[in-house]
Chains A and B, each alone.
Chain A
Amino acid sequence: MTDNLKSGNGKGLMIFGLLVLVFLIMGLAAYTISGHMGIEDRFNSAVGISGEGEEEEGSGFLGFNIEGNQLYYLIIFAALAILCAVLYLKFKL
């Protein structure tokens, strides 16, 4: 049984590694062809909409930034966090 599990796991990891390799090659090839651009510009370029160049790069924390309205994001996230805390305390996991 343990041998079965180990061999199944080994095969699984091999398939996973192969998929990772294929996806990375595909991704890097697509990135090289399409060039460096933000997600909205990439979408607009893909469908043929002329970009407005609104995306700012390098802003935020170490390049990470929040999409949409940051205040609304914080409010909704805080509400969800409170809801989760209430659910956790009431029902446990």
Chain B
Amino acid sequence: MAHIHLEDGAFSLQWTLVWWIISIVAIGLCLYWLRNVKKVDNRTITIAGLLTAAAFAVFQVNIPLFGGVHLNLTPLIGILGGPAIGGLIVLIVNILSAAIGHGGWGLIGANVLVNLIEVLTAYETFRWLGRMNVGTFARAGIGTLIGLLLGNVVMLAIIIISGVQGVTQSRADLLYGLSLLAGVNMAVAVIEALITGYIVSYIERVRPDMLDGGRK
């Protein structure tokens, strides 16, 4: 998964505000979509609650692999909840995470954007592969891998564009260091893809109606 794991103050105030404003606009679009295009029913609210609780619980757990990694279930959120509900869930999870001291408050804007890309990409890939009659496990797995890959690309772009305060590294060095970080994240993405694939396949077997978020 991709999450900008820096302290508050790593980005300058201007860039912190820029990412916050862009993420507020994105969340505004999600709300507009839910209000005017796809109405929210009671069942969607229940699914959103369950996804929020699961994502929050899993995201805070440091897994002793490669020295310490996280899962964040953003592709699962996208596949089950869809991008508009997913946008709201990642905002809530990032706020709650900052509240317990995992991640900075100032970086919530940037992290919401990273996670939103993961949600949106996984959802669209899952849907697109569904039209090509690809099996549920494979399309959830591929959606997760592509979603997390793009999330990492966006994370890299945000850090390189913003720059990190108090660091004298050139942008090339920054890109090299962050590429290694993203590379390790990609290995973790494989684990997340397998987990997401199994969960979505299981849900399709027992409650296929719950996969409306990723309808073919």
Contacts and interface: CB of A to CB of B under 8 A. Distances in A.
Interface residues of B, number: 70
A69 to B, nearest CB: 5
A9 B134 contact: yes
B36 interface: no
A49 B186 contact: no
Contact of B190 (A20, A33, A40): A20
B135 A47 contact: no
Contacts, number: 206
A91 B6 contact: no
A46 B68 CA distance: 15
Interface of B: 4-6, 10, 42-43, 45-47, 49-50, 52-53, 56-57, 60-64, 66-70, 96-97, 99-102, 129, 132-135, 137-139, 141-142, 145-146, 149, 159, 164, 166-169, 173-174, 177-190, 193, 197, 207, 210
28 contacts: A12-B132, A12-B135, A15-B138, A19-B141, A19-B145, A20-B190, A20-B193, A24-B190, A27-B190, A28-B187, A30-B179, A30-B187, A31-B183, A34-B181, A36-B66, A42-B181, A43-B4, A47-B6, A47-B10, A48-B168, A49-B164, A55-B68, A63-B64, A64-B62, A67-B61, A67-B97, A84-B49, A87-B50
